[in-house]
Amino acid sequence: MKSLTLFFAFIFTLFAHAYAQPPLGIITGNLNICIGDTSTLHDATPGGTWSSSNPAVATIGSATGLVTGISMGTTTIYYATTLIGTASAIDTVYPAPSPILGTMTICAGAATTLTDATSGGTWSSSSPAIGTIGSSSGIVTGIAAGTDTITYAMGCKVKAVVTVNPLPSLITGPLNICVGNTAVFTDTITGGTWSSTPVTVATIGSSSGVVTGITAGAATITYTLPAGCSRTVAITVNPLPCNTDISSFTGNIFPEIFPNPGTNDFTVTQQPGAFHTLTIINQMGQALKVQQLNSKQTTADVKNLPPGLYYIFLKGEGDYKVLKFLKE
């Protein structure tokens, strides 16, 4: 009898283990997301199906468990299996901050303030070598040319891309010229436009960089790149009589032009190898002709140029000279 009782107890135990249902599954994963963000939920029991009670707030892939935030609010996420029933969890969708506002293009060295209508967040930069931003102020400072992703976060995040454009290099040229004389200003970054303020004191060719002193006083020379970034330098136009050497940075090389005035051509003589190119510039600042110079003496053909005054710009290694030529 005792053996029979043990046998039935053993059989009961086998059936109990064979048909006992596992405990109801527990949904795990990030149940707090932002509008537009995604999160993958999990359940230890395989083979189930996911669903959302409010797809207008958040949707979920029926097989993947991938939740996508649609609008602010809450929804119940269900995970249903045939064996253990249905597990559920509340998923909350939070609003993202408002779009970032402000100027999204700045120059290296300049600053601009970005704003967000949703207060209380923190600003950050993805590339501080290109642009930095105050964590609470939203002030962006351009460091170097490139693009920088700016993030405003308060749990949820919003992003914007700021473009930092390069500055011209330092302007080179004499800071003192004489009334009636000319000088050439240069910048190693090409493609920009020159301007002068006020033009009653000094004018400058927009593409050539040739400055002409008009009246005694102070003027500001500006070089602006196509993206709008610029550098400036202050110059002084001195009244006559004036001994300022406005033609050369070093003032130690003195080429000559003859005949001057001339009709069909002129010849440039120089110390051997002092200058290597010759540019003929009209009074509008337009470069009309560029010619390579020989070591000592070079003849330039000007018979096709209309009569008038021209500037002859001679450029060498680290030096230049501007001469006047009158075409008859």
Are 317 and 291 in the same domain? yes
The SS3 call for residue 57 is coil
Q: What is the pLDDT of residue 99?
A: 92
Asked whether the beta carbons of 215 and 242 are under 8 A apart, the reply is no
Side-chain-facing half-sphere of 42: CA atoms under 13 Å: 4
pLDDT band at 303 (very low <50, low <70, confident <90, very high): very high
In-domain check, residue 15 = no
pLDDT band at 170 (very low <50, low <70, confident <90, very high): confident
pLDDT above 80 (res 8): no
| Other CB atoms within 10 Å distance of the CB of residue 250 | 11
pLDDT above 60 (res 4): no
Higher pLDDT, 82 or 134: 134
In-domain check, residue 245 = no
pLDDT above 70: percentage of residues in the chain: 88
Alpha-carbon torsion (54, 55, 60, 63), positive or negative: positive
pTM above 0.75, yes or no: no
Rounded mean pLDDT, 292-303: 89
Out of 94, 115, 132, pick the residue that ends a domain: 94
Are 202 and 146 in the same domain? no
In-domain check, residue 275 = yes
Out of 94, 118, 134, pick the residue that ends a domain: 94
pLDDT band at 182 (very low <50, low <70, confident <90, very high): confident
Rounded mean pLDDT, 18-29: 62
Provide the domain count of the chain: 4
Higher pLDDT, 139 or 311: 139
Asked whether the beta carbons of 156 and 34 are under 8 A apart, the reply is yes
Rounded mean pLDDT, 91-118: 91
pLDDT above 70 (res 309): yes
Higher pLDDT, 1 or 240: 240
- Which tokens hold the place of 327? 């075409």
pLDDT above 50 (res 17): no
Rounded mean pLDDT, 216-222: 93
In-domain check, residue 246 = no
CA dist., res. 263 & res. 306, Å (int): 10
Note down the domain range covering 145.
105-165
In-domain check, residue 188 = yes
Q: What is the pLDDT of residue 25?
A: 66
> If you average pLDDT over every residue of the chain, what do you get?
84
Are 144 and 181 in the same domain? no
Alpha-helical regions (H) of 20-85? none
Higher pLDDT, 117 or 249: 117
Q: What is the pLDDT of residue 135?
A: 93
pLDDT above 80 (res 6): no
Size of the chain in residues: 328
pLDDT band at 296 (very low <50, low <70, confident <90, very high): confident
Out of 165, 190, 210, pick the residue that ends a domain: 165
Q: What is the CATH number of the domain that holds 225?
A: 2.60.40.1080
Q: Is 294 exposed, middle or buried (0-12, 13-18, 19+ CB in 10 A)?
A: middle
Q: What is the pLDDT of residue 14?
A: 37
Q: What is the pLDDT of residue 114?
A: 96
pLDDT above 70 (res 84): yes
Q: What is the CATH number of the domain that holds 288?
A: 2.60.40.3080
pLDDT band at 242 (very low <50, low <70, confident <90, very high): low
Rounded mean pLDDT, 40-52: 90
